């Protein structure tokens, strides 16, 4: 009887540890996959220009454009690529083409890119390579803020694409827009702030808390300052327009490469 009970406890502990491990590995608020995971499918169209190879990939559920450092890719090839930053309405000057949506990846799984780490906003990219890539492809040099964020990793994979919204700033002395939070993150560190914004993504109970992605139409998607994350114990729904209050944290590092230049913690919905 005691041996049976002991075995049962061991099994339960093993299952609990496995579940906990899977939750920790999932990126806080990740869009489709954790940074350590890869995406993939069959290439149905491809072209190379400006140091990039552009692939239209059929994932089985949709067809999506992906840009990787220039590589030898053929139509019909099965590829797996690293997660990256999604950009909407991106215009490539070298291709004279505008993509409704495109994912910039640091490259294929296991390598395969001639210029690894050049992809815009990807982990391992340097400010110089980011600036060169943006200028070559979009025809405009990035701002200092854009270049400075290019080398940050982890949380970039969790950024939600820019939403076409325009929401009025929260009232009060502690009311800020999303863009202002990022611009003043150092000065606001440790202070209670109020945000009026739209919920564009909600990820429940990761690392013991709920993760809300908020956008109000401010900030710069090229600098990743348009999408503000807040952690909370409360439940909200995607597309809700809410006012929240919480403590602003600057350069918050949760480990595993997930570092946020600005994040709101212990947020409460203001009724």
The reported pLDDT for the residue numbered 155 is: 52
φ/ψ of 138, rounded to 5, equals -100, -15
Separation between Cα atoms, residue 95 and residue 65, nearest integer Å: 14
* DSSP strand pairing (228-232 vs 259-269): parallel
Burial of 145 (0-12, 13-18, 19+ CB in 10 A): middle
Where does CATH 2.40.50.140 sit in the chain? 175-269
* DSSP strand pairing (52-58 vs 63-69): antiparallel
Tell me if 52 sits within 8 A of 68, measured CB to CB: yes
Q: Give me the sign of the Cα torsion angle 14, 15, 20, 26.
A: positive
Tell me if 65 sits within 8 A of 99, measured CB to CB: yes
Q: Under DSSP, is residue 4 helix (H, G, I), strand (E, B) or coil? A: helix
| pTM for this model (two decimals) | 0.48
What is the DSSP secondary structure assignment for residue 46, as one 8-state letter?
Answer: E
Which of the following CATH numbers is that of domain 175-269: 3.30.70.120, 2.40.50.140, 2.60.260.20, 1.10.10.10? 2.40.50.140
The reported pLDDT for the residue numbered 181 is: 95
Along the 271 residues of the chain, how does pLDDT read in single tens digits? 444 444 443 334 333 333 333 333 333 433 333 333 458 999 999 998 767 789 999 999 899 999 887 788 999 999 998 877 777 777 787 788 888 888 877 778 764 333 333 333 333 333 344 344 545 555 544 444 443 333 333 355 566 777 788 999 999 999 999 999 999 999 999 999 999 999 998 888 877 788 899 999 998 876 778 889 999 999 999 999 999 999 999 988 776 556 788 999 999 999 6
Separation between Cα atoms, residue 119 and residue 185, nearest integer Å: 26
Q: Under DSSP, is residue 48 helix (H, G, I), strand (E, B) or coil? A: strand
Radius of gyration of the chain (CA): 20
Separation between Cα atoms, residue 252 and residue 107, nearest integer Å: 27
Helices (H), the chain: 2-25, 127-138, 144-149, 178-183, 185-188
Enumerate residues 6+ apart whose C-beta is below 8 A from 203.
Answer: 28, 29, 30, 210, 211
């Amino acid at each position: 009887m005691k041996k049976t009970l002991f075995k049962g406890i061991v099994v339960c502990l093993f299952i609990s540890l496995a579940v906990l491990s899977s939750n920790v590995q999932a990126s806080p608020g990740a869009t489709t996959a954790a940074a350590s995971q890869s995406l993939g499918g069959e290439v149905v169209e491809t072209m190379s220009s400006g140091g990039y190879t552009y692939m239209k990939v059929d994932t089985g559920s949709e067809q999506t454009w992906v840009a990787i450092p220039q590589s030898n890719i053929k139509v019909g090839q099965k590829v797996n690529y690293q997660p990256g930053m999604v950009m909407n309405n991106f215009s490539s000057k070298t291709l004279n083409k505008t993509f409704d949506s495109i994912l910039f990846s640091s490259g294929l799984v296991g390598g395969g890119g001639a210029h690894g780490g050049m992809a815009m906003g990807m982990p391992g990219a340097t400010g110089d390579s980011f600036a060169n890539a943006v200028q070559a492809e979009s025809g405009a040099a990035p701002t200092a803020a854009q270049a400075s964020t290019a080398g940050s990793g982890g949380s970039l994979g969790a950024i939600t694409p820019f939403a076409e919204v325009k929401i009025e700033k929260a009232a009060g002395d502690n009311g800020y827009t999303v863009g202002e939070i990022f611009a003043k993150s150092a000065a606001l560190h440790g202070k209670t702030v109020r945000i009026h914004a739209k919920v564009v993504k909600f990820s429940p109970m990761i690392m013991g808390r709920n993760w809300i992605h908020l956008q109000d139409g401010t900030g710069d998607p090229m600098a990743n300052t348009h999408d503000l994350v807040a952690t909370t114990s409360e439940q909200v729904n995607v597309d809700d327009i809410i006012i929240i209050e919480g403590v602003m944290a600057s350069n918050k590092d949760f480990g595993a490469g997930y570092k946020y230049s600005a994040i709101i913690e212990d947020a409460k919905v203001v009724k």
